[in-house]
């Protein structure tokens, strides 16, 4: 009996009970779609994070007040570390040769208002270097003024979204707005930058760092972004930063984050999540396999007369086994293929809904779920097929057929 004939025979048998075959196939479809879509989301999240940090460049270090290692908590929540000051930032630039650019950052949430319109936005205090580090273009007017960073003029560069909402068609440059209690002159408007590192930079307003610290009534910086000479040894520079901080604070009460370290730890989280998803998917495939087994057991008992006949007219044990194995294999393979199609369609739909979110099923996941579901068909098909094989033809023939 050729494989092609076995396949055709299986198809005629399955088409005889199309709804039953379809439902057991659906179980496989759901399992496969789940794996493909969920791993695509996980992989998408990982790619998203990686991509976001890669635009920062690999030669960037972010210094955050507070120490993660001592408490295991997020930096910033650990007791009351010494203030991270603008002087610290300047010292880092002066004392570490690899540091070519620094951007001290203060941050707060303030109400920005112009005439009768107002809006709650994130206000960042920083320096002109910040624009270069984060790749923010200036669309109108100018960026933050160069020069003495301790002084802090009462000026601001508005995010383009904020500018449009407050000023509509009017040119904001030179206008006077209020940020919190402060009267601030608009000197420029950002070009489009979109969401980067979880901040919508089109909505953020940027003021000089000292202005920001006064405005938010803070004595410590939110963080310091440091750009290194390309090709610097990041670990060595981290140690130098810690040495400088130790010298100034008498303790290392800061955490140095690099894009790599952030991506690594996020990747680890995403990988764990992905594994959990794969586990869930494997369980759903097992459930689908049991569904196939159930359907095949029913088929074997319904088709006793046919099995008896096949044996009477000369089918070997092996042929009977293969006929029924082929049926479960066809169900699981068809389910896998349909699931593959629907899985990719779902991914397309999701990326169409959320274009910013890359979702891409990793090849290993697609290959293994296809392989696993086909295997599930064989594995869970063996028991019913063996039952058919061992059926006594005389008893089988005496049943109604």
Partner 1 sequence: MIRLEDIWRTFVMGEQTLHALKSVTETISAGEHVSIIGPSGSGKSTLLNVLGCLDKPSRGRYFFDDRAVEGLDPDELAQLRLNEIGFIFQSFHLVPRLDALANIELPMILAGIARAERRERARGVLEAVGLGDRAAHRPSELSGGQKQRVAIARAIAMQPRLLLADEPTGNLDTRSGVQILDLLEELNQKGLTLAVVTHDPEVAGRADRILEMRDGEIIRRISATEFSAANPIFDRGGSGARP
Residues of this chain that interact with partner 1 (CB under 8 A) are: 1-2, 5, 9, 12-13, 15-16, 305-306, 308-319, 393-394, 397, 400-401
Q: Which is nearer to partner 1, 312 or 367 (CB)?
A: 312
Q: Which is nearer to partner 1, 263 or 389 (CB)?
A: 389
Per-residue burial over 90-109, b = 16 or more CB atoms within 10 Å of its CB, e = otherwise: ebbbeebebbebbbbbbbbe
CB atoms within 10 A of CB 110: 21
Q: How far is the CB of 314 from partner 1 (least distance, A)?
A: 3
Determine the distance from the C-alpha atom of residue 27 to the mean position of all C-alpha atoms in its chain, rounded to a whole number. Answer: 27
Q: How far is the CB of 303 from partner 1 (least distance, A)?
A: 9
Q: Which is nearer to partner 1, 5 or 247 (CB)?
A: 5
Q: Which is nearer to partner 1, 16 or 171 (CB)?
A: 16
Q: Which is nearer to partner 1, 6 or 255 (CB)?
A: 6
Cβ atoms of 289 and 345 closer than 8 Å: no
Cβ atoms of 381 and 327 closer than 8 Å: yes
**Helix 18-54 with 3-16: angle, nearest 10 deg:** 110
Sign of the CA dihedral with 86 first, then 88, 92, and 94 last: positive
- Which residues touch 208 (CB under 8 Å, ≥6 apart)? 125, 126, 127, 144, 145, 149, 151, 152, 153, 155
Q: Which is nearer to partner 1, 261 or 399 (CB)?
A: 399
Q: Which is nearer to partner 1, 229 or 318 (CB)?
A: 318
Q: Which is nearer to partner 1, 168 or 313 (CB)?
A: 313
Q: Which is nearer to partner 1, 192 or 401 (CB)?
A: 401
Q: How far is the CB of 392 from partner 1 (least distance, A)?
A: 9
Q: How far is the CB of 300 from partner 1 (least distance, A)?
A: 15
- Which residues touch 274 (CB under 8 Å, ≥6 apart)? 38, 39, 42, 43, 365
Closest listed residue to residue 175, CA positions, set 165, 166, 161, 187: 187
Q: How far is the CB of 330 from partner 1 (least distance, A)?
A: 15
Q: How far is the CB of 310 from partner 1 (least distance, A)?
A: 7
Q: Which is nearer to partner 1, 183 or 400 (CB)?
A: 400
Q: How far is the CB of 48 from partner 1 (least distance, A)?
A: 51
Q: How far is the CB of 54 from partner 1 (least distance, A)?
A: 58
Residues linked to residue 254 through DSSP beta bridges, in sequence order: 65
Determine the distance from the C-alpha atom of residue 322 to the mean position of all C-alpha atoms in its chain, rounded to a whole number. Answer: 44
Q: How far is the CB of 397 from partner 1 (least distance, A)?
A: 7
Q: How far is the CB of 309 from partner 1 (least distance, A)?
A: 5
């Amino acid at each position: 009996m050729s494989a092609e004939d076995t396949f055709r025979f299986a198809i005629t048998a399955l088409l005889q009970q199309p709804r039953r075959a379809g439902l057991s196939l659906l179980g496989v479809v759901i399992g496969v779609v789940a794996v493909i879509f969920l791993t695509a989301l996980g992989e998408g999240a990982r790619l998203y994070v990686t991509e976001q940090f890669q635009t920062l460049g690999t030669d960037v270090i972010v210094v955050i007040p507070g120490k993660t290692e001592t408490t295991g908590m997020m930096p910033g929540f650990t007791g009351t570390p010494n203030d991270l000051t603008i002087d610290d930032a300047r010292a880092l630039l002066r004392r570490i040769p690899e540091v070519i650019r620094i951007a001290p950052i203060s941050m707060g949430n303030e109400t920005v208002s112009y005439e009768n319109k107002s809006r709650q936005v994130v206000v960042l205090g920083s320096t002109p270097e910040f624009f270069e580090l984060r790749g923010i273009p200036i669309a109108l007017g100018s960026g933050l003024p160069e020069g003495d960073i301790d002084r802090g003029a009462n000026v601001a560069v508005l995010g383009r979204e904020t500018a449009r909402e407050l000023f509509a068609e009017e040119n904001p440059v030179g206008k006077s707005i209020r940020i919190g209690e402060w009267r601030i002159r608009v000197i420029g408007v950002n070009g489009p930058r979109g969401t980067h590192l979880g901040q919508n930079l089109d909505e953020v307003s940027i003021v000089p760092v000292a202005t920001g610290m006064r405005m938010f009534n803070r004595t410590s910086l939110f963080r310091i972004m440091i750009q290194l000479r390309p090709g610097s040894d990041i670990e060595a520079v981290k140690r130098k930063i810690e040495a400088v901080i130790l010298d100034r604070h008498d303790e290392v009460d800061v955490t140095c984050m690099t894009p790599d370290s952030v991506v690594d730890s996020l990747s680890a989280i995403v990988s764990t999540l992905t594994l959990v998803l794969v586990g869930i998917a494997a369980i759903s495939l097992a459930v689908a396999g049991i569904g196939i087994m159930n359907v095949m057991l029913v088929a074997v008992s319904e088709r006793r007369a046919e099995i008896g006949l096949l044996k009477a007219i000369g089918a070997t044990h092996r042929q009977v086994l293969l006929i029924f194995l082929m049926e479960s294999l066809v169900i699981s393979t068809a389910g896998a293929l349909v699931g593959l199609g629907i899985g990719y369609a779902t991914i397309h739909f999701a990326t169409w809904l959320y274009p910013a979110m890359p979702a891409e099923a990793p090849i290993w996941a697609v290959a293994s779920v296809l392989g696993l579901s086909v295997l599930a068909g064989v594995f869970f098909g063996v028991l019913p097929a063996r039952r058919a094989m061992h059926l006594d033809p005389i008893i089988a023939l005496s049943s109604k057929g």
